[in-house]
Amino acid sequence: MTEELLTYHQRHYGMDHDRYEWSMLQDRAPVRWPGGKPLALWINISIQHFPLSGEKPRVAPPGALTMPYPDLRHYTLRDYGNRVGIYRLLQVMERYGASPSLAISGALVARYPQLLERLAQTPYEWLGHGWNMLSMHAGEIDPAVEAGWIAEARAALLSCSDRSITGWLSPGRIQTANTPELLVKNGFTYQCDWVNDELPYNFRTAAGEMTCLPSCLELDDVFVLTQNLHSEDSFAQQVIDAADLLINEGREQGGRLLSLNFHPWLVGQPHRIRTVREILEALLVQRSDTIWHAAPAAIIEAAKT
């Protein structure tokens, strides 16, 4: 019965699956970012809908409701992000001339048309971000159900904007075994869920190749502030330390990428927004000669050349 525990079906050169090739960052041909800058900066804002329904997600994403129905405390704290936090965050982004991408729950389109109108007026790239924060792409879901979530999320975003939508970030950066195929079939050319690299790389699916642009979890605001319980000042320090290390590496070895992910329901709070300003000041003003700040699709394009 335990023989299987000592049987190794994938013990061979390279990865133990066929999604991508094994390669070390430092061994690849150097990437050159526009202007010869050593570091590319991608800022994403995840704009999310957490339903009050009382239904339990298959896997709880960060920020999931936890209390018995009706969990007003968590529902309204998340809703705060869509009423107040996002506007505060957009103002800071605009003040610094930042170009964040916006990953948006599809359900918000019908729910908050005024919000979507405001987001449509920005020049920012949009990413699919699932239907809502209960539609978790996790475990064994009927592929037809999962395909529906992806198609509807994409259709909702396309219904209120004429921008092209090619990128996807799953709620909680979790996928099923079918997610990559379903994304390609629905017109997505890149996804950001696999955090195994610091540069975009080719990701295989049965429906054709796509790109993975890893969205760093370790510097995600929710991870640092609510899971690690670090202070806001430490969060800013960590981001700056990361930028400085990557700038040095970028000078010596080839272009590097720093990816940040902000949540309006968290850093849009009045006592935290200052930290976002400090981070943008440090990166976009003080390090403007070494940082190329761009939208994710542009970063992927630049990494190919």
Partner 1 sequence: MSAATQNAELALYDYAPYEGRPKLSWPNGARLAFWVAPNIEFYELDPPVNPHRQPWPHPYPAVPGYSIRDYGNRVGHQRQMAVLDKYGVRGSISLSAALCEHHPEIIALCAERNWEFFSHGIYNTRYTYGLTEAQEREMIEDAMDTIERAVGQRPAGYLAPALSHSNHTIDLFAEAGGIYTCDLFHDDQPTWVKTRSGRPFVSIPYSLELNDTIAYVVQKMEPRRYGEIIRRAFDQLYEEGEESGTVMCIPTHNYQVSCPHRLRAFEEALEYVTGHSDVWVTTGREIAEYTLTHCSDQIKGGEGSAT
- Residue 58 or 185 with smaller CB distance to partner 1: 58
Binding residue for partner 1, selected from 166, 175, 186, 269, defined by CB under 8 A? 175
Q: How far is the CB of 102 from partner 1 (least distance, A)?
A: 22
Site for partner 1 in 94-113 (CB under 8 A): none
Stretch touching partner 1 by CB under 8 A, among 40-48, 124-132, 224-232, 275-283: 224-232
Strand residue runs (E) in the chain? 39-47, 101-104, 126-128, 167-168, 190-191, 201-203, 210-212, 256-262, 291-293
Binding residue for partner 1, selected from 158, 195, 207, 302, defined by CB under 8 A? 195
Q: How many Å apart are CA 73 and CA 79, to the nearest integer?
A: 10
The tokens 């094994």 sit on which residue? 22
Of the candidates 201, 183, 190, which has an alpha carbon nearest to the alpha carbon of residue 143? 183
Binding residue for partner 1, selected from 161, 189, 205, 237, defined by CB under 8 A? 237
Burial zone of 276 (CB within 10 Å; 0-12 exposed, 13-18 middle, 19+ buried):
buried
The neighbour count for residue 13, using CB atoms within 10 Å, is 5
Q: 43 φ, ψ to 5°?
A: -110, 125
Stretch touching partner 1 by CB under 8 A, among 10-18, 64-72, 118-126, 159-167: 10-18
Q: Is 97 left (phi over 0), alpha (psi -120 to 50) or beta?
A: left
* Binding of partner 1 by 304 (CB under 8 A): no
Q: How far is the CB of 235 from partner 1 (least distance, A)?
A: 9
Q: Residue 199 contacts by C-beta under 8 Å, 6 or more apart in sequence?
A: 25, 28, 31, 214, 255, 256, 257, 303
Site for partner 1 in 256-285 (CB under 8 A): 258
Stretch touching partner 1 by CB under 8 A, among 75-83, 100-108, 156-164, 211-219: 211-219
* Binding of partner 1 by 25 (CB under 8 A): yes
Residues that bind partner 1 (CB under 8 A): 2, 4-8, 10-17, 22-27, 58-59, 138-140, 172-177, 193-198, 214, 217-219, 227-231, 234, 237-239, 241-246, 249, 258
